[in-house]
Structure 1
Amino acid sequence: MAENKSEIIAGAVVLAVAVGFVVYAGKLTGASAGGDSYELSASFRSADGITVGTDVRLAGVKVGRVTSMELDPQTYRAGTTISVAEGIDVPDDSALAISSEGLLGGNYVEILPGGSPMYFAPGDQIEFTQGSVSLVSLLMKFVGDDDAAAAPSE
């Protein structure tokens, strides 16, 4: 009987530690059960490197995430919906850009705030966007231009 009690206590301790890790991981990743937010939409020419769940940052601070992405068959642009934390007012002349965390890092959506005294309302469309830049295409342009400059002219 003593063995059963010690096994139950050990199991309870393991379960409590597991719940603690789940709560810690949720706080670390910014996940929350009832976070109030509002949605804004935007259209990108190229949305390479972002998916649903990608961070949305303002001044380097996570203020939301990408909630949906779909191709618009009429314009061939990536229609994107983002959520922004309640209490973060985005000026209505702001822009969205897909930025990179570094050479080997991932991409995120960056809010580039404007100076307007008016703010986006929930559900508004952000008109000014800048899609992702392909590192490979930039390198190819650099290498291609270098070869053209080195070729002798006749």
Structure 2
Amino acid sequence: MPQILKDHLVEALTGLAVIAVAAWFLAFALDRTGSTGTSSYELAARFPNAAGISVGSDVRVSGMKVGSVTAQRLDPATYQAVVTLSVDSAVKLPLDSSAAITSEGLLGGSFIALVPGGDPDMLAAGDEITDTQGATDLMGLIGSVINRSGAEEPAKAEPAGAAE
């Protein structure tokens, strides 16, 4: 056996280097995606319009990622989007917290922004955030501004002698 290792030392070291790089890459990827096994709890929120949100979308508090969207479904009774959020267990949210779907800009992606309230009692796993605001249709707003830009009639000029 030692003779085989001596004969194939370069191959063995190359294999070891490949395994070390793969382990480093896996640790790096888990750290960057937030999948490091931290404990979390789930909350639900109902939105009238959940455009731009999908499973994996960020959940943020004060611009900091504290969780992600884990599920979506349509409530057949109210026709609202019911979104399940996984929130880091280190983040305790008051009962009167609110959730809004917002975007990073005109070309950016959408995320759910949580705004903590002031209630002394905290949301627990399985609770629902009742104060929600759905996604704003940016393209519809831009279109309405463009369409209204020429809709107003210009002010009519008074005849020259009418002001006297």
Normalising by structure 2, what TM-score?
0.86
How far apart are 1:39 and its partner, in Å?
A: 0.9
Residues 26-37 of structure 1 aligned to structure 2 (within 5 Å): 26-32=30-36, 34-37=37-40
Gaps of 5+ in 2: 157-164
Structure of greater Rg: 2
Normalising by structure 1, what TM-score?
0.91
Q: Does 1:7 align with 2:32?
A: no
SS in 2 for 1:22: helix
How far apart are 1:35 and its partner, in Å?
A: 1.6
| Structure 2: distance between partners of 1:61 and 1:83 | 14
> How many aligned residue pairs are there?
152
SS in 1 for 2:150: helix
| Structure 1 residue aligned with 2:49 | 46
| Structure 1: distance between partners of 2:110 and 2:132 | 15
How far apart are 1:87 and its partner, in Å?
A: 2.3
Q: Deviations over 1:62-112 (max 9, x none)?
A: 111111100111111111110111121111111100111122111111101
Deviating above 6 A after TM superposition, structure 1's stretches of 4 or more consecutive aligned residues are none
Of all paired residues, the percent bearing the same amino acid is 43
Gaps of 5+ in 1: none
How far apart are 1:29 and its partner, in Å?
A: 1.7
Change (3 A) 1:57 1:10: same
| Structure 1 residue aligned with 2:125 | 122
